[in-house]
Structure formats: structure tokens, C-alpha cells
Amino acid sequence: MKLEKKQAIENADTQGVAQENFPNLVNESQGTRDIGDSSFTPKNMPVGPTGILFSKQKNVEVINKLIQRTNRVLIKVSSVFPFDFFPNDITVDENKVNVILRQFFFSKRVHSVVLDDITDVFVETGPLFATVKFIDKNFVENEIAVGFLKKAEAFRVRRIVQGLMLATQTRD
């Protein structure tokens, strides 16, 4: 841990950040101070979740990795065209469900719901097609429905979303 702290100071110095910005980090007479201490607050360098000082470039890399994780699509389904002239889409990724509702040419409404906010998922079936309904606890209308989906796709979306909901609840 001491080596990481010294490397963080050296990295800070190479980036033009003065050593005076880190008075609580290293004091030669007293040794090193724990970087996780609540009194440690560097002025110009953010501290990561593991307690290691990050440079601006490292922060950009971390943010880009988080963005890539949130954009990993698990399933994408669309409503059937002849019955719905402007097909709606449901896209499920690891953290959220995106419902894209199209009303006319070149217009759409994108509704993103975080998995923690979904309270239930319903599938209503008819002779040919199915409708998926998401119940959102924070949305005023409380229900987001997408119709004219193939039955197998609708049940698959429900199964994946309910599995992700269960995984996020057990993770917390």
C-alpha cells in the first residue's frame, strides 16, 4: 500500500499537481497515513473505490468501461410491422430496460427504466400476438406497454427481465 501511495504522488507530480496538495498523504517524520482515512481529502486528484488516487486519464477509462457495461444488449425485440405501422422496440441490457415507442415517421419516445424501479412484468397474450407491460414505481402513468410482439419473444423478455430483477435484489 505504501508503494501505491508513493506512485500516486509521483504520478501527481508528473501531471503538474504540487506536492502541497497532499499534506495528509506522506509526512516523512511520521511515516505514511492511510489513504482511506476520512480526513484525507486531496484537492486536485479524485480517489477511486479502492482508495487509489486516479489521474484524469484513468477516470476517463473507468467511465468508458462503465458505459460499455451498460450498453451490453441482452435482448432486443420489435413489434410486428404490418399490424403496427411504426414498430416499437424493447431493449434489455444489464442495468435497464429501454422502451422505444414510435408514433409517426422519424419520431420516437425513448423510456428508460432502471431494473430497480420495475416492480412487475406482465405478458398478455392473444390468438396471434402478445403485449408486454412493465410496471414502473417512479413513472406517473405507472405502466409501459408494447403490443404486437411475437409470443415467444414476449415471454423471453419477461423471463430475462424478471431474472435481472431478482439478481439486482439479491445483490443488494
pTM of the predicted model as reported, rounded to 2 decimal places? 0.61
Confidence (pLDDT) at 2: 53
Confidence (pLDDT) at 37: 46
Which of 55, 105, 51, 99 has its CA nearest to residue 77?
99
Confidence (pLDDT) at 3: 54
Q: Give the cell for residue 150.
A: 411475437
* Sequence-separated (6 or more) residues with CB below 8 Å from residue 35: 1, 5, 25, 47, 51, 52, 53
Confidence (pLDDT) at 70: 67
Identify the segments of the chain with pLDDT beneath 70. Answer: 1-54, 70, 172
Q: What is the mean pLDDT of the chain?
A: 77
Domains of the chain: 2-68 (no CATH), 73-171 (2.30.29.30)
Between CA 133 and CA 99 the distance in angstroms is 10
Which 3 state secondary structure label does DSSP give 132? strand
